Each structure stands twice: as C-alpha cells, then as structure tokens.
Amino acid sequence: MTTQTRDIYRSANGDYWPVLWDSEMKQGTVRHEPALAFGGGQPTETPVIEFLERNGTNPENQSLWALLEQMSKG
C-alpha cells in the first residue's frame, strides 16, 4: 500500500486535519487529530466523500475542496 499524506487544515486551537491518500486503492481518508492543549481525545478517520458531505462549509472542508481542485489540475 502506498499512502501519501497532505495537510489540509490546522485550526487556531491546534486541531489538525491531514488527508491520507491510498494511491493503489484510489481512495482517501480525512484524519482529525484533536488538540492536545484542550484535552486531546482520540483521532478519527472519515472517508473523503463522507467528510465532504457531512462538514458543509467548515474551513477544513473548504481546504479539502481546494486541495482536490488543485490535484485535479495536475
């Protein structure tokens, strides 16, 4: 499995969202890593399609759309 990681968003409070892309399976997962400074919590992973459908116009969602647009241009 070949996985590439791209940062999509880091919030002011330290939450972090990278997207993990499996080039062999041609699918992606968005990982949310909660800020340790605010109690942390467990990271979660959400398929890209579900993340885009569920998160509307949040900054991390907009950043993922921008990355996907950039990737589609080559």
∠ CA 30-34-36, rounded to 5°: 145
**Predicted pLDDT of residue 29:** 95
**Mean pLDDT, contiguous 10-residue spans, the chain (74 residues):** 88 93 86 82 92 86 91 77
Amino acid at 34: P
| Sign of the dihedral defined by the CA atoms of residues 56, 9, 33, 38, in that order | negative
pTM of the model: 0.81
Domains of the chain, residue spans: 3-72
Q: Any idea which residue has 């880091």 for tokens?
A: 10
| Sign of the dihedral defined by the CA atoms of residues 73, 62, 48, 24, in that order | positive
